Structure 1
């Protein structure tokens, strides 16, 4: 593979906050915006994943969501308790949140404005998929195509995460550096579902990179509140006009595979790709299939728009 251009991380002022981003690929290539999931820094879109996607003819932009990594850290909102989650699930008492997914969608639009991007292919993973859906609903003109990966509609009828995945999600923040590294490895073992030696070999270096960029446990809590406070998008997704691809793993322990199926069923004309044996992660052996699907979908959407 030829060397892919990489612009190092920079800060953009967007929607009244600072967002840290970097870019892979040529300036004149079609923009693809990658939106990460709950508590995930932009570097969880692996450098090589971004390079391989850029090599398919895209300008790939990844960024830290608000409250994570090198982007602005906000304030307010206490840590979610299991009691609140029970109230939400059984009594339908809404969760209070300092901001919602719609605000995070506006952050993404603000970043596009700062970079002079009128419209882009938007790819979101997990919570990032929810934010991408919100963009497709609220800012249709800014979207060339939508790819929603391991995400859901917010429909309360979707089965909950497995007990093991819930435990990972609700565990108190690690107290020390070594505890964080152990937790990172354990978390991804649960989410990847199965044995992926290439990824397991990289867990330590990935965890070190994230730790050095800075953790913000309170920010993860606020993002979680944003998801719960935003409710269901199912009805509003019927209005989405962007060409849509939904990718989901058949053994996802965190967002039940029904979440992907519900997303595809809710968006007119959406295509659904279920990846056999994939959990709530993008392990290296599955990159070719995922990158190929994203690239073909985006190029087809652009070709259709030009015709």
Structure 2
């Protein structure tokens, strides 16, 4: 819930009630019972790993979690926005709980994340090599200082936050990352050892194997008004994935912006993203 780059605050500033949450395996959200029944997830997501459907939870569960949060706050219907994996979760909320969605806004995501990532790796092996190298060197060990966490996190952040349109690492980007790390560190939300992220990867693997086909059919019948947003230069989940998602959902709108796997590195781009979401909400409120 700390990785919105200010978009959540800008939407709140536009007059909307904004509720964000930590997905299972991130921040302060844990599923200790589920985690206790599964082995260490990190080796199962390494090179050459074949987890054979081992998972603590599935993407369906994460979508149901979001609806449970709405229940907790007494919200009958909401505009559901999700980014990257959160975009897949948002799709699942719309398919599984259409009666709870006013609209759905999947951002820089795909209906098949594993397939999109596999395509990206083939298209841009050099970038992916750098990402894997940064990930291997960026492990977070419990007890690290906030500054150590920041220094370990920066290489990955720099790869994902910059893009072809805006390739420079700017003071603004540095401050956004520093603030996010500071908040996560202070609230005890650091993913020590990467186990949370690994469990989320296993959740995607299990969901893809067992639920992807049905999900695609659900999207083809979706009546929830959908807006798909995607950066043209996304190296992690290529723009073609966003276009395919848009084509699958009846009546969906597609907005492409100058960016990568981020929410805009320029005031104009950030304004375009915000205006697209606000406009979509206004049309379907």
TM over 0.5: yes
Higher RCO (C-alpha 8 Å, min separation 6): 2
Aligned with 1:59: secondary structure?
coil
Deviations 1:240-276 (A, max 9, x none): 1111010011111111212111111111111111112
2:277 alignment partner, one of 276, 294, 304: 294
Residue 204 (str. 1) matches residue 178 (str. 2): yes
2:30: which partner in 1? Answer: 72
User: Which of the numbers 149, 162, 168 marks the counterpart of 1:195?
Assistant: 168
Structure with the largest fraction of strand: 1
Extract unaligned runs of 5+ from structure 2: none
Select 1:146's aligned residue among 88, 104, 107: 104
TM-score between the two structures when normalised by the length of structure 2: 0.81
In 2, the alpha carbon distance for the partners of 1:109 and 1:228 equals 22
Does structure 1 residue 218 correspond to structure 2 residue 195? yes
Distance 1:259 1:166 in 2: 21
Say how many residue pairs are matched. 252
1:28 is matched with none
Contact 1:234 1:263 in 2 (8 A): no
Unaligned segments of structure 1, at least 5 residues:
1-41, 88-92, 303-307
Q: TM-score, normalised by structure 1?
A: 0.75
Give the structure 2 partner of residue 240 of structure 1.
222
Which deviates more from structure 2 when the two are superposed, residues 228-237 or residues 165-174?
165-174
Q: Deviations over 1:128-169 (max 9, x none)?
A: 000000011111100000100010011765313441345455
Query: Are the equivalent residues in 2 in contact too, given 1:73–1:219 (CA < 8 A)?
Result: no
Alignment of 1:1-307 (within 5 A): 42-46=1-5, 48-74=6-32, 75=35, 76-77=38-39, 78-79=41-42, 80-84=45-49, 87=50, 94-154=52-112, 157-158=115-116, 159-161=119-121, 162=124, 163=128, 164-168=130-134, 173-175=139-141, 176-177=144-145, 178-193=147-162, 194-197=167-170, 198-214=172-188, 215-216=190-191, 217-231=194-208, 232=212, 233-276=215-258, 278-283=259-264, 285=266, 286-302=269-285
What's the offset of the Cα at 1:212?
2.5
Which stretches of structure 1, 4 residues or longer, exceed 6 Å deviation after superposition? none
**CA 1:152–1:130 in structure 2 vs 1: closer, same or farther (change >3 Å)?**
same
Query: What is the CA–CA distance in structure 1 between the aligned matches of 2:227 and 2:61, rounded to whole Å?
Result: 23
In 1, are the aligned partners of 2:58 and 2:204 still within 8 Å (CA)? yes
Q: Pick the structure with more helix per residue.
A: 2
**2:70–2:76 contact (8 Å) kept in structure 1:** yes
RMSD: 2.1
How has the CA–CA distance of structure 1 residues 247 and 144 changed in structure 2, closer, same or farther, with 3 Å as cutoff? Answer: same
